[in-house]
Amino acid sequence: MAANRRKEERVFTVAQVSALIKVALEGSLPPRLTVVGEISDWKRHAASGHCYFSLKDEASILPCVMWKSSFADVKFKPESGLAVLARGHIDVYPPQGKYQFYVDSLVPAGQGALQLAFEQMKERLEKEGLFDPVHKMPLPAYPFRIGILTSESGAALHDITDSMQQRWPPAHLFLYPVPVQGEGAAEAIAAAIKYINRRNTQLRLDLLIVGRGGGSLEDLWAFNEEVLARAIFASKIPIISAVGHETDFTIADFVADMRASTPTRAAVEACPDIRDVLASFDTAQKRLAAAVNGSLTIASQQLRTVRASAAFRNPRLAVNLASQRLDENSLRLPAAVRSSISSLREKLTVLHERVARIEPHRLMAARRAHLITAAGLITDALRKRSSAAQLLLARYEDSAKAAVRKRLSDSQLRLAAAENRLAALDPRSVLTRGYTITRNKRTGKVVLKTIDVEPGDLMLTELADRNFVESQVKTRQNRQSN
């Protein structure tokens, strides 16, 4: 009977077992689960965009998968070690026979997803230097062409234009309507900033104001997107960010060249007050008038002084005086010339007398005789010096030859002594005194003792004339010593 039961027992394939487990899980687990845990081994596939990770706590680990389409709705950046709430369902992965948690949504545990995404974005862009004050451009002092990027139906536009018209009527305002909330708003604002920068040679805008009215973090999220932050950073036109209320801060505020707490405040930061400018003009006009009046007063005093002078009263007087001085100089000039010529003649006479007393021809003859005598003395000295040098050279030559001969003699003596020592050390030198050298032909060794040969061995005996005698050992005889 037991054998019949074994025959009736069903055999399952691996795939069938996986299908049974899948059915059992679907029947016993809720269709949707929310799981809290810490992310571990977070990986996002570069090609497919799918995410693979695990959720863990102190007791267990749950393998998880999140498809690319679901991950597109995640605002923050998941990373290992982050506590999250994951919502999805459990199912079996048949190729490996294991269960997985298929995640549809992911939010931080204990913190809003948007707030975490804001903090992560802020930290990353700050490390890149997008908030550094060194990159911020100064605002123009008197902007006359101002671009406004906001919703054409929002209250922010009216706040900016009303405040601008009151403070700075000369400004020309140009509206570039853009969506400020919802899907694609950040991309639209960034595209508008890039478009204005490309065409600013024709547009000639001095300043841009980007903003909107207040709202929740979700409403303001377009101004926290990276694409808008980088467009603001790359703008060559100074930008004022005017988003939300006093307490609202966005990524755009940190990147912009100036942050205005409200749209109304943006108009105050963008341009001066016309009343202050006019007041400064009045002050400058008064200072200029005072400076001009002071200069005119000084000039008038100088003019009165000139008019009171004798030269101004009788202008021909200066000409007459100069003419008189010219006449006087023309009269004194011939006498001065004659006096100079007479003085030069006297100096020439004195010099001529001095030369005559010197008698230069006699001086030259004495110098010539002195030079001839000196030349003879030098010639004799050189001749004597040459003889001494030749004698010294001959002495050096004899000394060198004697030294060389002595060195050769010493070397020959040392060479002969070395040859004698080598001859004494030559083992064949004793052969001339009747000795011989005998070797065992079998071993090639010199025979020193009877044990070096065996009966029947052939021996070679070397004689003094370098010839050999071959003999054969018949017997060995050992001499016993008492």
The structural domains of the chain, ordered by start, are 14-111 (2.40.50.140), 117-276 (3.40.50.261), 419-482 (no CATH)
Residue with tokens 């506590």: 83
Q: Which residues pair with 175 in a beta bridge?
A: 148
Residue 212 neighbours by CB distance under 10 Å: 27
Q: Please say whether the dihedral angle defined by the alpha carbons of residues 277, 278, 283 and 288, taken in this order, is positive or negative.
A: positive
CA diameter of the chain? 172
Both tokens of 396, joined, read: 């050096």
Helix (H, G, I), strand (E, B) or coil at 54: strand
Both tokens of 265, joined, read: 């405040």
Q: Which residues pair with 105 in a beta bridge?
A: 87
DSSP H or E stretch at residue 433: none
pLDDT at 5: 56
Each residue of 93-120: b (16+ CB within 10 Å) or e? eeeeeebbbbbebbbbeeeebbebbbee
Q: From residue 228, how far is each of 74, 183, 192, 257, 446 by CA, in Å?
A: 18, 13, 10, 14, 106
Looking only at the bridges linking them, the beta strands covering 33-44 and 83-93 are antiparallel
Give 330's Cβ-side CA count (13 Å radius): 6
Both tokens of 186, joined, read: 């950040």
Do the Cβ atoms of 213 and 160 come closer than 8 Å?
no
DSSP H or E stretch at residue 374: helix 360-425
Q: How many angstroms separate the CA atoms of 186 and 207, rounded?
A: 20
Q: What is the pLDDT along the chain (482 residues), one digit of tens a residue?
A: 555 555 567 766 666 666 777 777 766 677 788 888 888 888 999 888 999 998 888 888 889 999 998 888 887 788 887 888 888 888 888 788 788 889 998 887 765 667 777 878 888 898 999 999 999 999 999 999 999 999 998 888 998 999 899 999 999 999 999 999 988 999 999 999 999 999 999 999 999 999 998 877 778 889 989 999 999 999 999 999 999 887 778 999 999 999 998 898 998 999 998 888 888 888 888 899 888 988 888 888 888 787 777 666 677 767 777 777 887 777 777 777 778 888 888 888 887 777 766 666 666 777 777 777 777 777 777 777 777 767 777 776 777 777 777 777 877 788 777 777 776 666 666 666 667 888 888 888 888 888 788 888 888 888 877 788 888 888 887 775 44
Each residue of 323-335: b (16+ CB within 10 Å) or e? eeeeeeeeeeeee
* Best CA proximity match to 228, nearest among 196, 253, 201, 202: 253
